[in-house]
Amino acid sequence: MYTEESKYSEKDNNFNRKLTIFNDLCDRVGIPQEAKIKGFPTMLYGIALDFYYKNKAIYTTFNSICNAIRNYFKGLEYKRRVLIKWNAITLKTVIIKSEGKSTEDCLQLLLNDLCYLQHGLDANLRNDDFLYNKLIVACQDVAAC
């Protein structure tokens, strides 16, 4: 039921996105909140799984282990890198990177990238208004828009 793609490994992964997937799967099969900590290692692999097993005695609640992993792997430096990527991406850069694809396809790729990056932004920036503003700015240099 849990695929490698759904697991969190730290390297270029977004912990909040992977946690959303984990919580959704737990909710679908009726796992109560207090039992999620037992299944939590299922969503990890690589260095993140190592971190969990080295620290599982210290963090005894689901929220505490989530916060520990988030802080260890995705602290302020990570959020800064995500914001830099967020600010740099435009429809024009996606078109250049996706040579041969239509503008419509590239717009969809841009939306996909922005939605993925949005999970890594600071919590106060993860809203529809910020995404809408970025989309307008990202498309302004393309004549079709």
| Statement to judge: residues 100 and 59 lie in one domain | no
What pTM, to 2 d.p., does this model score? 0.61
Please give the Cα distance from 138 to 28 (Å, whole number). Answer: 36
| Statement to judge: residues 31 and 10 lie in one domain | yes
Query: Is residue 93 in a domain?
Result: yes
Please state the domain count of the chain. 2
User: In angstroms, what CA-CA distances link 62 with 28, 40, 54, 58, 98?
Assistant: 18, 8, 16, 12, 40
Query: Is residue 61 in a domain?
Result: yes
pLDDT tens per residue across all 145 residues of the chain: 678 888 898 766 788 889 999 999 999 999 998 899 999 999 999 888 998 999 989 998 999 999 998 888 877 777 888 899 999 999 999 999 999 999 999 999 999 999 989 988 888 999 999 999 999 999 999 988 8
| Statement to judge: residues 102 and 47 lie in one domain | no
Amino acid at 124: N
Query: Is residue 144 in a domain?
Result: no
| Statement to judge: residues 115 and 69 lie in one domain | no
